[in-house]
Amino acid sequence: MVFPERFANLPAYAFPRLRSLLDAHMPGGEVINMTIGEPRHPFPGWVADVLARHIDEFAKYPPNPGAPELLEVISGWLSQRYGVSVGTDRILALNGTREGLYNAVLALCPEQKAGKKPVILTPNPFYQVYMMGALTLGAEPVFVPATAETGFLPDYASLPDETLDRTAIAFVCSPSNPQGAVADDAYWRTLIALAEKHDFLVIADECYSEIWRDAPPPGGLAASAALGADPERMLVFHSLSKRSNLPGLRSGFCAGGPKCIAAMNELRAYSGAPLPLPLQRVAERIWADETHVEANRALYHEKYALADAIFGQMPDYVPPKGGFFLWLPVPEGDGEAAALRLWTETGVRVLPGGYLGRSVDGANPGDPFIRVAMVAPLEECERGLKRIRDGLYR
């Protein structure tokens, strides 16, 4: 058995690919893993108590859209955080946002747009599930560079009208993974106007929205509402993985127009996997609490300051505005060679930026970078960042 032809040219996923690159070599020092974005800050201690109180609900099938209590709390959080009124019929609880991002494409992308194969716009580099949804559906993924020249966000307005007229979905990640760029109000206005003109859906991956440096990132729903856009024009995704250091809870949600949510829920009725009820009860309590989020953000502020102190003199260093990754340009423009060198000479594991991008016209915009995850405790982060600086930039 082999993959269907549409998947035949997939590169190995980033982390198996990284193991193939590094694991045949001995580390050059104490191992410090700065590859995967798996938060290591503490989550609230009362999580276990909430789970224990609801453990008997593992004996029940969970409701497809999410428990009504959870949806009400999420609605309240959206109102508090973004100042938007979103009814529970416009929210779908997810078994991890990756599941939701993938299924949104299957549920919401038509088989044709403008009489041709639909286009799905994707920033490049990007979270790889964006591409997989397009390939599964048989749509055409169009990879749009998100580089320093474009503020590390994709400039979809620069695309030709023929491409935009065929576009069914455009993905945006803000704060962006891997670069930590934030879409401001002007960016959202331009993108929403483009979506209205060319009739496509914007899918906003906002899973890093609560980890920010100076100000809360604006959100797609608020921007869309402020412009009076069609509610079906914007679909946003959020997660507890980064906000609350609970990646293993697999709890997130999407919110958008009621027709979009109904279509996704109908698909889930046939093929989805709703979150178990005890985990929904934990999520309900977590979304209602901001104290732990503020404490978590304060820890990342210490790491932002640390990174600035260590790399601030580098001429091409761009401090992230949000998220917990550093996107560092490397000498000689070869992120893969830099990652191997760091491993064999210092013991620090980082991810080559090219593993998160795709080559278009012979160029992969991620190739000259490494992605560095600042998720470990502060002292371990400091050791790792200093080794990166000394190993690559001195």
Tell which residue, 216, 239, 375, has the closest CA to residue 299: 375
Percent of the chain clearing pLDDT 70 (strictly above): 99
pLDDT value at residue 347:
98
pLDDT value at residue 61:
94
Show me where the domains of the chain are located. 5-42+292-392, 47-289
Reported as a single tens digit per residue, the pLDDT across 55-92 is 999 999 999 999 999 999 999 999 999 999 999 999 99
Q: Is the peptide bond before 247 cis (omega within 30 degrees of 0)?
A: no
Q: Which amino acid is at 187?
A: Y
Reported as a single tens digit per residue, the pLDDT across 97-152 is 999 999 999 999 999 999 999 999 999 999 999 999 899 999 999 999 999 999 99
Label residues 364-385 b or e (16+ Cβ within 10 Å = b).
Answer: bbbbbbbbbbbbbeeebbbbbb
Q: Residue 338 has which token pair?
A: 């830099």
List, in order, residues 6 or more apart from 281 with CB less than 8 Å away. 50, 51, 53, 54, 57, 67, 69, 70
Q: What is the mean pLDDT of the chain?
A: 95
Q: Tell me whether the CATH fold assigned to 5-42+292-392 matches the one assigned to 47-289.
A: no
Domain 47-289 has CATH 3.40.640.10: yes
Reported as a single tens digit per residue, the pLDDT across 326-366 is 999 998 899 999 999 999 999 999 999 999 999 999 999 99
Rounded to the nearest 10 degrees, what angle do helices 277-287 and 68-82 cross at? 30
Mean pLDDT to the nearest integer, 310-333: 95
Rounded to a whole number of angstroms, the distance between the first and last alpha carbons of the chain is 49
Mean pLDDT to the nearest integer, 186-200: 97
Dist CA 231 CA 89 (whole Å): 12
Q: What is the 3-state secondary structure (H, E, C) of 207-256?
A: CCCCCECCCCCCCHHHHHHHCCCCHHHEEEEEEHHHHCCCHHHCEEEEEC
Mean pLDDT to the nearest integer, 266-279: 91
Considering only the top CATH level, what class is 5-42+292-392?
Answer: alpha beta
> Rounded to the nearest 5°, which phi and psi values hold at 219?
-115, 155
Q: Residue 179 has which token pair?
A: 């670069």
Dist CA 51 CA 30 (whole Å): 37
pTM for the whole structure = 0.96
User: Which is more confident, 271 or 380?
Assistant: 380
pLDDT value at residue 2:
67
